[in-house]
Structure 1
Amino acid sequence: MAITATSALYFLPFVLPLCFYVAFTDMARMKITNQAVIALALVFLLIGPLVLPFDTFLWRLCALVLVLLLGILLNAVGAIGAGDAKFCAAAAPFVAPGDLRLLLALFMAVLLAAVLTHRVVRATALRRLAPEWQSWHEPRKFPMGLALGATLALYLVFGALQGA
């Protein structure tokens, strides 16, 4: 992996709870909140300069802007939700450019597992554990925050474990 174990380890305790929050709120309310996205970006802005070389930090900030612009475009044509676009932008700087292919493969695997799990739970009595969750009642929509949050969390966990 191109991400260093050290940077992944430093980001992980701050990013992991945000990823869980994003997955939870998207399943419960079909929303990725601006507060979560801002908090994720702030984690990078505060921790990034401490664990990354300054030029790398700046290039990763450029990735945030680029992904945000792409997300705005995709949202404008109805391909993705606004919260998904903003989360991807805030998550982009955490990903080392050399890991992009790995991240896409990880995302595909996580997305498949998340969709299958969500559909199975929605179709069984397990949904009674949280009957008020809006994602159970949206047959044509999927809470992408579940897959996006899990992907970022797993990427950082794998990055941190490479040093073990």
Structure 2
Amino acid sequence: MGAQALLWFLPFTLPIAIWVAWSDMKFMKIPNKAVLALLGVYLIVGLIVFPLKIYGWGWALAGILLLIGIISTSAGLMGAGDAKFAAAMAPFFATADIRIVFALFAACLLGAFASHRAMKCLPPFRAATTDWESWTNKDFPMGLALAGTLIFYPVLAALLG
């Protein structure tokens, strides 16, 4: 039930995830509107595709991750936008196997880091994106890896059954 339900979210979460990845690379910021849009998707679609108990657990996960994110941001471990986006993503993983989520996030993080650094070195791509702050900022646009996790998990969960 959970894997199939996650596919119902994908048409709505995919454009938001792309928006977040692009915004974080271009401006090194994740817009609050994107976070609220993602929560809105869960608010409406989650109520339709998840049983009420799982739906409630999703909101609880969002609250827990928001608290962890606030603490992590205060400690300088992550940006506030990353923390808010991770909290908004949390409800979509209410039925997830946490081991798979962490393994996928690790893969997305490595892939995002490698591809971001590689694209930074390609003159045609760099010339087309000269105004992107992520090219010169010392921090990595974590929204790229978070967005990848949000995009790929429903597909992976459906494939794994």
Using structure 1 for the length normalisation, give the TM-score: 0.92
Please, what is the CA RMSD of the aligned residues? 1.4
CA, structure 1 residues 96+59, in 2 after alignment: closer, same or farther (shift >3 Å)?
closer
Report the counterpart of residue 23 of structure 1 in structure 2.
21
**Residues 38-57 of structure 1: matches in 2 within 5 Å?**
38-57=36-55
Structure 2 gap ranges (5+): none
Q: Does 1:159 align with 2:157?
A: yes
The separation in 2 between residues aligned to 1:81 and 1:92, in whole angstroms, is: 17
On the 8 A contact 1:3/1:99 being kept in 2, the answer is no
**Residues 91-102 of structure 1: matches in 2 within 5 Å?**
91-102=89-100
The separation in 1 between residues aligned to 2:159 and 2:63, in whole angstroms, is: 29
Report the CA distance between 1:96 and its aligned residue: 3.2
Structure with greater contact order relative to length (CA < 8 Å, sep ≥ 6): 1
Structure 1 gap ranges (5+): none
Report the counterpart of residue 126 of structure 2 in structure 1.
127
Measured against aligned partners, the alpha-carbon deviations of 1:72-113 in whole angstroms (never above 9, x if no partner) come to 000000000000000000000001354211010001011001
Bigger mean CA offset, 143-152 vs 91-100 = 91-100
Report the counterpart of residue 105 of structure 2 in structure 1.
107
Report the counterpart of residue 32 of structure 1 in structure 2.
30
CA, structure 1 residues 135+116, in 2 after alignment: closer, same or farther (shift >3 Å)?
same
Report the CA distance between 1:137 and its aligned residue: 1.4
Q: How many residues are aligned here?
A: 160
Measured against aligned partners, the alpha-carbon deviations of 1:107-163 in whole angstroms (never above 9, x if no partner) come to 10110011111111112313112111111111x211111110011100022234456
Report the counterpart of residue 115 of structure 2 in structure 1.
117
On the 8 A contact 1:110/1:151 being kept in 2, the answer is yes
On the 8 A contact 2:28/2:141 being kept in 1, the answer is yes
